[in-house]
Amino acid sequence: MRSKVMVFPALLGILVIGLLAGCGGSSSSSGGGGGDEGTPVDGGILRAAINDNPDHIDPALSYTSEGWQILEATNNGLLSLKKASGAEGNKVVPDIAEALPKISDDGKTYTFKVRRGVKFSPPVNRDVKPSDFKFSIERLFRVNSGGLAFYKGIVGADEYAKTRKGGISGIIADDKKGTITFKLTEADGTFPMFMAIPFAYALPKGTPDKDISSVPDARVATGPYMVTSYTPKQKLQLRRNPSFKEWTDQSPNGHLDGIDIAIGVDPDAAVNMTVNGDLDWYFTAVPPARLTQLKAQYGDQVNDYQRNNITYFFMNERKAPFDDLRVRQAVNYATDRDALVKIFGGQGEPTENIVPPPLKPAYKKHEYYPYDLAKAKQLIKQAGVEGTDVSVWTRNQEPFPKATQYMASVLNQIGLNATVRVLDQSIYDDTISNQKTDPQIGINDWSQDYPEAGNFIDTLLNGNNIVSIGNNNQANADVPALNAQIEKANRMPLGDARDRMWAELDSEYMKQNAPLVPFLNASYPKFNGPNLRGLVFNPTYFELFPSMWLEK
Amino acid sequence: MIIFLAKRIVGLVAVLFAVSVITFIIFNVIPGGDPALRMAGRHPTKQAIANINKDWGFDQPLYKQYLAMMDHLFVKRDLISYQDQTEVLPTIARGIPRTLSLAIGAAALWLLFGIAMGVASGLNQGGWTDRVMTILAMTGISMPIFWLGAVLLYLITFKYRELPVLSWFPAGGYSPISDPVEWVRHLILPWITLSIVSIGFYARVVRNSLLETSSADYVRTATAMGLSRRRVLFRHTLRTSLIPVVALFGLDFGAAVGGLVILVEPIFGLQGVGQYAQSSVAHLDLPPLMALTLYGAFFVVVFNAVVDIAYAWLDPRTRDA
């Protein structure tokens, strides 16, 4: 999932860094609001702000953390990620489904029983039916959802993607019995995750096949809040959904009466507003340049969350000199991960793993590449690639260029001849994901779509997923034995056995193939107003609006 | 005058056409700028990309895509953003009052202080007033707008929070008609930020023009005839000295409304047209970029024409040019 681009605020942050330097001290927490929480109080309007429009407030189209935060409060799916922070928040739980799905022995059929009495908000005001879910999944294909790849494994989905007529044969909804069944072309243990992310949220049959973000009557909610007004580039307002009635503790009623979101407040301005008492909460992280001072002056209001993400350099296995394992290993040995973390403002933990720590037990720390420059030089010598020209690619968003400059210096130190290529943030991802560009080595980061190790290993390293454009496997790693292991893990049901397999794959990839130089699990520092309580950071939906409350 | 206006309108249309074509071509030759790929999400399938290309017309020849965009922009007036599929024209319409609030206030400041400083400097050539004004003007000219805005905000937020007069948020949230006092109060910082460079620049221009005019024969004659210094200044020297300011102001105001606000609005969260442009550039979002580029070009061309008319009025020698 993407966070929105914030190049300009980053620049401003850098500009004021000199003014802020020298402030010491630190105070942070790893989830939840700071200080003594007390008893939740109902009422009040949260004064929130966001840098720019949320990409969409249509579950089919939104693909950013900002959009998902809003949708978590307004809409629901058959399943949900547990409305909790930390590792607990990575678990799939029933939402509008009465229970977790029944899975056939071959792992290809998922059957859900839909809870009765869950209502759509006005003007629809009726119970959610199984056929609404079928409609919503099919609508993904009709509105060209960015998330439809997650549902292409449903029988008939490929054909429906071509024709967009007649429905998806593999989704069988029975409104009388209250059941919905999904038939998959092959076993896929990840499917419950796909049903818990906003793309699979219920919209009533008849919702138009276009973005409903700006269509008030079509923005129908099932959750405790509904979007009552949206003026792009200016403001967005959430108020209580009058049709909502809590059905489990996973669908809480919420404490706030509403949320007013001012659009167009950049992260630096948000800090200023919060300090001035004009703002309770902001969507995205504190600019790195402001963090030290805020921790020193307003430590109780700063929360340092852990997200499921990694920042890494990929090394293209189809391009010399990185087609030689010894070179990829040499770069891993020569990289001082602590130095890179410092370049990122110390915001996060160094890592050599592909899977982020919060995804334990799929995360099992390994250390195959302790910093060893001599060994790296020796490997480069053995590979016979000294003096080879290398371009290291980066986006222009700070601190990526600095980290890339560091990597270029590392490559030069071990005997290669490296230069840095900087691209604008707006075109970087698309450019490096294109096989025509085919960069040798570059920096990138990956934040989860859903909280599962496969979203990292399968997406970033499965050779069967290599495509010519939009290629997420930028290392072009393609090890048939490991590809097969990934496919096997994907078929297994979610759980410990599957997680152990991901942990093994993480280890095997770095030991045998070393396609990446993972170096950082970035943290997510947030700064909120002094009266805001009940902060729960879920790795998928981020801070949950229904948990928040305002101290009077 | 009618011929003059007709020529200007034809010129305006030609400029807007050229700007739209260039903007469209630039967007289409940028590597990595494929909107279909962006819309297809992080796990794009070939079929999804093909569907998007078909539905949005990206599979059509470029000239057809261009014509379709112009149709949505000027005829149907329902152009929508690729990034978030919001309507472009209502968003610009909502932003214009905020942008004009910023630009008009800043223009008033830079005219007032720029002329005052230039006159004070010119009348005291070589004296301490001239020196101080020159230093202040050069300091203003040298300050990058985005830096100044960020520093002002920092000072107000962390250092001088007790100064209520400089409270700044929400900068764009007040109307000059319904709440003029709050409107002024909350726009002071953005106005200062946008105007400071121009104040310095105008002060230098007015000073130099004033000195040049002061040595003109007709001014010396007026002084020799025994007219008071004040009368010579206001009736003869200043009027002529301000002719270059008129030309500059027209161009600068057009450039401010059409472009410079992009540097100031995001700092203060004004959500005017400039901030919209900044966000559209960051997302390589062609529909708003196209509309905003034409909007900017429109203001620059129109104010150029206004300058020409004003110039002709002030200096009859230029009317036939």
Give per-residue pLDDT as tens, B137-196.
888 888 888 888 888 877 776 666 655 444 445 555 566 677 777 778 778 888 999 998
Q: Which residue in B271, B278, B284, B286 has the most chain A C-beta atoms within 10 A of its own C-beta, making it the best mutation to test that interface?
A: B271
B182 touches chain A (CB under 8 A): no
Q: According to the model, what pLDDT value does residue A35 have? A: 45
CB-based contact A271:A286 (threshold 8 Å): yes
Q: What is the mean pLDDT of chain B?
A: 85
In which region does residue A165 sit, left (phi positive, over 0), alpha (psi from -120 to 50) or beta (all else)?
beta
> What is the pLDDT averaged over residues A358-367?
94
- The whole-angstrom separation of Cα B121 and Cα B140 is 15
**How far, in Å, are A157, A473, B15 from residue B296 at the CA level?**
46, 41, 11
Q: What is the mean pLDDT of chain A?
A: 92
- The whole-angstrom separation of Cα A141 and Cα A219 is 19
**Cβ–Cβ gap B44/A149 under 8 Å:** yes
**How far, in Å, are A309, A426, A444, A523, B56 from residue A447 at the CA level?**
4, 17, 10, 11, 29
**Cβ–Cβ gap B33/A427 under 8 Å:** yes
> What is the pLDDT averaged over residues A119-146?
97
Rounded to the nearest angstrom, the minimum Cα separation between A471 and chain B is: 8
> Which of B45, B49, B283 has its CB closest to that of A426?
B283
- The whole-angstrom separation of Cα A345 and Cα A289 is 8
Task: Report the chain B residue with the minimal C-alpha distance to residue A433.
Answer: B32
Q: Residue B272 carries which side chain, given as an amino acid letter?
A: G
Quick one: which H or E segment has residue A367? none
A164 touches chain B (CB under 8 A): yes
ipTM: 0.85
- The whole-angstrom separation of Cα B45 and Cα B52 is 11
**How far, in Å, are A47, A535, B215 from residue A531 at the CA level?**
11, 11, 67
Quick one: which H or E segment has residue A442? strand A441-447
B249 touches chain A (CB under 8 A): no
Answer whether residue A546 shows pLDDT above 60.
yes
End-to-end CA distance of chain A: 35
Residues of chain B found within 8 Å of residue A159, distances taken between Cβ atoms: none
- How many other CB atoms are found less than 10 A from the CB of residue A215? 13
**Cβ–Cβ gap A427/B147 under 8 Å:** no
- The whole-angstrom separation of Cα B171 and Cα B162 is 18
A198 touches chain B (CB under 8 A): no
Answer whether residue A343 shows pLDDT above 90.
yes
Task: Report the chain B residue with the minimal C-alpha distance to residue A210.
Answer: B85
Residues of chain A found within 8 Å of residue B43, distances taken between Cβ atoms: 149-150, 449, 459, 470, 472
Task: Spell out the domains of chain A, with CATH numbers in brackets.
Answer: 54-224 (3.40.190.10), 309-524 (3.10.105.10)
Pick the residue with more confidence: B272 or A520? Answer: A520
CB-based contact A209:A514 (threshold 8 Å): no
Q: According to the model, what pLDDT value does residue B32 have? A: 63
User: Number of helices (H) and strands (E), helices first, in chain A?
Assistant: 16, 22
β-pairing, A45-50 vs A281-282, is parallel
* Lowest-confidence pick of A177-191, B71-85, B219-233: B219-233
End-to-end CA distance of chain B: 13
What percent of chain B has a predicted confidence (pLDDT) above 70? 90
Task: Report the chain B residue with the minimal C-alpha distance to residue A397.
Answer: B282
* Residue A408 DSSP SS3: helix
User: How is residue B243 written in tokens?
Assistant: 């002719």
Q: According to the model, what pLDDT value does residue B163 have? A: 52
Residues 160-179 of B with CB under 8 A from A: 161, 167, 169-170
Q: Which residue in B38, B43, B94, B279 has the most chain A C-beta atoms within 10 A of its own C-beta, making it the best mutation to test that interface?
A: B43
- The whole-angstrom separation of Cα B118 and Cα B198 is 12
> What is the pLDDT averaged over residues A322-328?
98
Nearest to B256 by CA among B170, B175, B195, B188: B195
> Which of B42, B150, B279 has its CB closest to that of A268?
B150
Answer whether residue A18 shows pLDDT above 60.
no
User: How is residue B299 written in tokens?
Assistant: 């203001």
Rounded to the nearest angstrom, the minimum Cα separation between B250 and chain A is: 29
Answer whether residue A8 shows pLDDT above 50.
no
**Cβ–Cβ gap B37/A437 under 8 Å:** no
User: How is residue A160 written in tokens?
Assistant: 């429906």
A99 touches chain B (CB under 8 A): no
B185 touches chain A (CB under 8 A): no
**Cβ–Cβ gap A214/B157 under 8 Å:** no
> Which of B85, B91, B284 has its CB closest to that of A211?
B85
Residue B309's pLDDT band (boundaries 50, 70, 90)? confident
Quick one: which H or E segment has residue A549? strand A549-550
Phi, psi of A311 (to 5 degrees): -115, 135
Rounded to the nearest angstrom, the minimum Cα separation between B267 and chain A is: 7
Answer whether residue A28 shows pLDDT above 60.
no
* Residue A184 DSSP SS3: strand
* Lowest-confidence pick of A28-37, A276-285, B12-21, B196-205: A28-37
β-pairing, A348-350 vs A258-263, is unpaired
> What is the pLDDT averaged over residues A402-412?
97
Q: According to the model, what pLDDT value does residue B284 have? A: 87
Dihedral sign of CA atoms A68, A73, A75, A77 in order: positive
> What is the pLDDT averaged over residues B23-47?
86
Q: According to the model, what pLDDT value does residue B157 have? A: 67
Residue A24's pLDDT band (boundaries 50, 70, 90)? very low
Residues of chain B found within 8 Å of residue A61, distances taken between Cβ atoms: 85
Residues of chain A found within 8 Å of residue B154, distances taken between Cβ atoms: 16, 19-20, 272
Q: According to the model, what pLDDT value does residue A179 have? A: 98
Residues 371-410 of A with CB under 8 A from B: none
- How many other CB atoms are found less than 10 A from the CB of residue A176? 7
User: Number of helices (H) and strands (E), helices first, in chain B?
Assistant: 15, 0
Rounded to the nearest angstrom, the minimum Cα separation between A248 and chain B is: 32
- The whole-angstrom separation of Cα B216 and Cα B209 is 11
* Residue A445 DSSP SS3: strand
- The whole-angstrom separation of Cα A529 and Cα B94 is 29
User: How is residue A529 written in tokens?
Assistant: 């107003």
CB-based contact B265:B99 (threshold 8 Å): yes
Nearest to A35 by CA among A542, A544, A534: A534
Q: According to the model, what pLDDT value does residue B159 have? A: 65
Residues of chain A found within 8 Å of residue B41, distances taken between Cβ atoms: 63, 145-149
* Lowest-confidence pick of A81-85, A281-285, A534-538, B215-219: B215-219
Overall size of chain A counted in residues: 552
pTM of the model: 0.88
User: How is residue B241 written in tokens?
Assistant: 């000295």
Chains A, B: CB contacts within 8 A come to 166
CB-based contact A456:B54 (threshold 8 Å): no
Nearest to A42 by CA among A224, A284, A283: A224
Q: According to the model, what pLDDT value does residue B170 have? A: 52
Q: According to the model, what pLDDT value does residue B234 have? A: 83
* Residue A378 DSSP SS3: helix
Per the DSSP assignment, residues forming a β-bridge with A258 are A45, A239
Nearest to A357 by CA among A537, A492, A493, A499: A499
Q: What is the torsion angle, in degrees rounded to the nearest 10, for the CA atoms of residue B264, residue B178, residue B163 and residue B274?
A: -10
Q: Is B101 exposed, middle or buried (0-12, 13-18, 19+ CB in 10 A)?
A: buried
Residue ranges in A143-287 assigned as alpha helix (H):
157-163, 191-194, 267-276
Q: Residue B6 carries which side chain, given as an amino acid letter?
A: A
- The whole-angstrom separation of Cα A244 and Cα A115 is 14
User: Cα–Cα–Cα angle for A20, A25, A31, nearest 5°?
Assistant: 100
CB-based contact B82:B286 (threshold 8 Å): yes
Pick the residue with more confidence: A426 or B165? Answer: A426
Answer whether residue A511 shows pLDDT above 90.
yes
* Lowest-confidence pick of B93-107, B143-157, B163-177, B236-250: B163-177
Answer whether residue A33 shows pLDDT above 80.
no
Q: According to the model, what pLDDT value does residue B140 have? A: 85
B223 touches chain A (CB under 8 A): no
CB-based contact B191:B288 (threshold 8 Å): no
DSSP per position, B148-167? HHHHHHHIIIII-TT-GGG-
**Cβ–Cβ gap A430/B266 under 8 Å:** no
User: How is residue A113 written in tokens?
Assistant: 């029983």
- The whole-angstrom separation of Cα A420 and Cα A406 is 10
Residue B113's pLDDT band (boundaries 50, 70, 90)? very high
> What is the pLDDT averaged over residues A152-173?
96
Nearest to B91 by CA among A54, A227, A234, A217: A234
Note the pLDDT tens digit of each residue in A135-155: 999 999 999 999 999 999 999
Q: According to the model, what pLDDT value does residue A244 have? A: 96
* Lowest-confidence pick of A245-254, A269-278, A520-529, B147-156: B147-156
> What is the pLDDT averaged over residues B71-87?
94
Answer whether residue A13 shows pLDDT above 60.
no
β-pairing, A179-183 vs A109-113, is antiparallel
Residues of chain B found within 8 Å of residue A53, distances taken between Cβ atoms: 84, 86
Q: According to the model, what pLDDT value does residue B6 have? A: 83
In which region does residue A227 sit, left (phi positive, over 0), alpha (psi from -120 to 50) or beta (all else)?
beta
A17 touches chain B (CB under 8 A): no
CB-based contact A26:A299 (threshold 8 Å): yes
Answer whether residue A533 shows pLDDT above 90.
yes
